[in-house]
Chains A and B, each alone.
Chain A
């Protein structure tokens, strides 16, 4: 039983990172209807920038953290302006492919600058595990979990109460109506990419503190798809819950497959098997808008 509780806890932690990345994904989708296949690479770039600033430039962690956020903000603007804006009005497959192309470019830039070896962050939080309900949990896990909940709350409030957030929702709902009410659609698009890049880089920094970083970090972006489909492509709450559920599900399935079937590496595929089932039964997910055209 302890084994599964342990799996549950580590699943929740990984899941909270999925939630963060999914949050970025949903923000982009909500405002621009673009499905971003480069989300994992944004995570990786954020992690490497922060790593560079703390380890190579020897800045204190908090300074590095905020500088990374600033960098991600600019990266988001650049991506939207240079790559996504010319694609407005193009068919879905072109938009998908442009983000896939972007992910290759980002991946190879990271490899060019930092190589492919695993790099380890210097420990920021204390190493001794905290006991929660009889289970040892590393503080960094707790921080990850807490941070993702805080961010989720901040974004929910942002979308609900701030002028900008309301403008973003209006744009998502009806671009023409929003534009005629005086909302700068282009700025909203750029802003959504900035926020997504920032949220993803926070995910990357947390992940780097847990596992270290390497050039394979971008694969995390693929795990986002089951999470956001489960939650619904355009729902923040869905992204948060979907990430947690997928994180737990894949960890527990992996453990069960190892124990009962002797199958290794089931983690990578469990979420996708589940994804196919969700798509067949409830393609709009738990909280997504049910506007999907039935075929």
Chain B
């Protein structure tokens, strides 16, 4: 195993590498290969969880770009996700091919996100959070009442996506599609963070006045952050709609926004890998509770019902405990574990 301890970059290109070091490249490749092979060793239920994780990764990474990296708190991400799902459904029902539907849904969501990002011109911090909360509730109302486009409370049905006649009509096929899109999104965000765009985002998050002084056009970059983040959210929403094949307004309520925020907080604000960790954690948590409830239910029938009722409470409790005891998130824990092995047997 070969890993560098400290910074040894001699060129700018070397510093800006996506995967510095051969060890990281090989391990990422092996990890990706294992991920591709994993579904063959799993049953249908586990594969469906993997699909959900892939979709959540897109949402979490996109929200982390906006909130974690650019510092613009958004309580409306769930609704943006919904805009993506509804526009995908609408475009697909118009007869567009899936390869156009996916970016189309992203583009429509990006526009919506930028409109609701406009208040960021004047607001920051808690005021922006409340403005995006308003966006969430207004969009939810639109989903429910714009019958002609969204089907109202009845919802909308979608066909499984197909690319050049190849239909992704099983969990296994959807897994590869969502994995491919999620990997693309993660790479895209990771790359954005290496460019001047990403650096401008971080500058705005750290201190808006300094950012403005070094020449960052605050409004333009904030709008870009909203646009890019909602584009990815729209793509995630489109995949979610195609995967569940039926969308209703309740799916995109404030609960979804909160769980995406929970993902990036538990994973680690402002880090791409943190978004991935958080998405995995929050998606698996309810399934884990189900599992425990089922197995505990065999022994104590009362307990399983109580556990199911407590699902939301456990989610809240996990969130609170993470914020109190691990405010830097899982990404920081991962970094500590890595540096422990790198420095072993020395403590520093």
Interface residues of A (CB under 8 A from B): 35, 83, 86-87, 90, 92-94, 96-98, 100-105, 107-109, 111-112, 222, 225-226, 229, 233, 263-266, 268-269, 272-273, 275-276, 279-280, 283, 292-295
Contact = CB atoms under 8 A, between A and B. Distances in A.
B316 interface: yes
Given A104-B313, A265-B144, A295-B218, A92 B73 contact: yes
Nearest to B314: A108
Given A265-B144, A295-B121, A87 B323 contact: yes
Interface string B314-330: 11111110011001000
A268 B313 contact: no
Contact of B130 (A111, A229, A266): A229
Nearest to A83: B320
B306 A112 contact: yes
A83 B317 CA distance: 10
B123 interface: yes
Interface of B: 67, 73, 119-127, 129-131, 133-135, 137-138, 141, 144-145, 208, 218, 254, 258, 261-262, 265, 269, 306, 309-320, 323-324, 327
Contact of B261 (A97, A226, A264, A294): A97
B155 to A, nearest CB: 17
Contact of B122 (A112, A229, A280): A280
Contacts of B318: 101
Given A90-B323, A97-B319, A102-B320, A276 B119 contact: yes
B122 A97 contact: no
A83 B312 CA distance: 18
Nearest to B145: A263
Contact of A283 (B123, B141, B262, B269): B123
A99 to B, nearest CB: 9
Given A86-B324, A97-B262, A269-B138, 20 more contacts: A35-B130, A87-B324, A93-B129, A97-B261, A98-B323, A101-B315, A104-B258, A104-B312, A108-B310, A112-B309, A222-B137, A233-B126, A269-B137, A276-B131, A276-B134, A276-B138, A279-B122, A280-B119, A294-B122, A295-B124
B265 A112 contact: no
Contacts of A100: 258, 261, 316, 319
A279 to B, nearest CB: 5
8 contacts: A83-B320, A97-B261, A98-B324, A105-B316, A222-B254, A280-B119, A283-B127, A295-B123
Output the residue of B141, B269, B312, B316 with the most chain A CB within 10 A: B316
Given A101-B319, A112-B313, A35 B138 contact: no
B296 to A, nearest CB: 16
A294 B320 CA distance: 31
A94 B122 contact: no
Contacts of B310: 108, 112
The 3 closest A-B pairs by CB, nearest first: A104-B316, A108-B313, A101-B319
B134 to A, nearest CB: 4
A247 B315 CA distance: 32
